Chains A and B, each alone.
Chain A
Amino acid sequence: MKTDARMEEFETIYEKYSPLLYRIAFTYLKNQDDVVDLLQDVFIKRLYKAPKFESEEHEKRWMIRVTVNLAKDQLKSFWKKSVIIDERETLQQRECQNWGLNDTEREIFTLVMALPEKQKIVTYLHYFEGYTCKEIAEIMHCKESTVKMRLKKAREILKMEIQE
């Protein structure tokens, strides 16, 4: 594929997936700069190394999986962990301002961000993206019962009155 065509393709997939992938990446990394680096990698992989997709849903799940995997890889890094620990408060406050969150939303944001990564991602995929537990299990390569357990634990922590 020629470069111009590749960039056109990039614009299309960027428009389609960047909001979703941004939220997932931020859920893990909590840091705009890291998120930007990660999303660059995700889109480059999508452009140059993607498999042939059976459907749009297959492509979407692939993008989610790649984002999650790359974010987890980044978190394994010793230095990445330390930056997150040290600057968590400052970074979160900055993002709250950028997004124009009110006090209640800030409180929810702090609670959500404090969830363990595994619980955060299944909560997001289920309640925001509308995936079923079975679908999340397929995306995350784990058992359906594991997803249900993580959702339950997340709900307990957040004390959410969410009806499935």
Chain B
Amino acid sequence: MKERDYKKLYEKMTISKDMQERIRQGVQRQKGHSYKWVRVAAAVVVLCLIVGGSVSATIRSGNLFSFLSADYNISKQANHLVEQSKKFPVVDNEYLTCTMKEALCDENTVYCMAEVQVKNPDKYFLLDAKYGLNDYVDVLEDKLKIDGMKGKTIAQYLKEIKKKPLRISAYVKSAELEDEYYDGMFMKTDIRYGKGGKAFLYMCAEDENETLHNIDFHLIGWNPRYDLLKIFENKEELVIQNQSEEVKEYNYKIKEEYIGPEKSIKVTGIHIMETELGLYATVETEEPGKESTDSYLNDHCSVNLADSTGKTLKTVMESWWSQTEEVGRKCKTTTRMHYEKTDLSQGLTLVLEGNQGKSYGPYSLVESK
């Protein structure tokens, strides 16, 4: 293949008039509507808290356990699992110091808390860059939503208080994953602001298959306006031991052999690993008669565990892992999910959700050998 052949091919790849018109119409429909973006909203809320001057809006210490228990149903007895070590990494650059304070490994999930201190809080105003891996929005142009300041952008506000924005993002991930191929799956981050340029970073990473031990901690400073530019990037290694000692394992089965009149999906195995912090569920299903994974995937039902009333259990990470393979004249799917701690003695059900919006169940589960 010659370079000219390659270029000729791409020259022919042109957008049709019909498609052009559809793009135009889509953009036109946005007229008069405010554009919604979760990331933007989060940044504005943070600023509302800080600008509002409410001392209670900021926090003095960012204990990892109290942060997690605010969002998840975690037993206070599990507090002892949090590991505090002087061996944890410290980032020290010209803008800030960032010290990993606490970490916790619960089987396939690692939770970490790091404390950030801006070196010159009179000069820099800390902003978070949520989803830093795919960061491409100029938050400085977002409007403040505070009485008396409506209509002002963050950039204008910072100009008034004579501070420069310092925009950071941080995450932890399995050291086994190559940096250049990592796309941000299976991670979660959050930030809480303290006073005087202090902030607490909370990070969570998960591996669908293995217990996490070796973690990479990444801290990135972004140019607040020009998202292609990083002003610093630090990577530190973190080694942590699995702290979950009391792990219980259960097998469940569904009473009905086949589920749903429209979908002949057979649930062949439900395995639950209960740790001190959560539930790791693996659900295996089969669809007899479906010989191709392609056709199977197009008509797929996702599985979810639910309580006795059919209310889906709360997941720790929004993502779930699923793999389908063709075995003989059927397709087998393995799905793994991570739920918050739930009292299993209250009963469990299984719910299936089809890709057309239909749901099936709840189907009662009973413990099996």
Contact = CB atoms under 8 A, between A and B. Distances in A.
Interface of A: 3, 6-7, 10, 14, 18-19, 22-23, 26, 32, 35-37, 39-40, 43-45, 47-52, 54, 58, 61-62, 65-66, 69, 72-73, 76, 78-79, 81-83, 85-86, 95, 98-101, 104-105, 108-109, 111-112, 118, 123-124, 127-128, 138-139, 141-143, 146, 158-163
Nearest to A6: B31
Interface in B1-17: 1-3, 5-10, 12-16
Given A7-B28, A36-B19, A86 B180 contact: no
A138 B228 CA distance: 7
A14 B24 contact: yes
A50 B135 CA distance: 12
Contacts of A127: 3, 6-7
B33 to A, nearest CB: 9
Nearest to A47: B27
Interface of B: 1-3, 5-10, 12-16, 19-20, 22-24, 26-28, 30-32, 35, 37, 40, 134, 136-138, 140-141, 180-181, 183, 185, 225-228, 230, 293-295, 297-298, 300, 302, 322, 355
A65 B227 contact: yes
A58 B136 CA distance: 12
Contact of A162 (B2, B20, B134): B2
Contacts of A32: 16, 19
A27 to B, nearest CB: 9
B5 A36 contact: no
B32 A22 contact: no
A52 B223 CA distance: 12
Contacts of B230: 141
A161 B1 CA distance: 6
5 contacts: A47-B27, A50-B138, A61-B228, A62-B136, A161-B1
Contact of B10 (A10, A39, A124): A124
Contacts of B37: 49
Closest 6 A/B residue pairs (Cβ): A51-B138, A82-B297, A40-B26, A86-B294, A162-B3, A48-B35
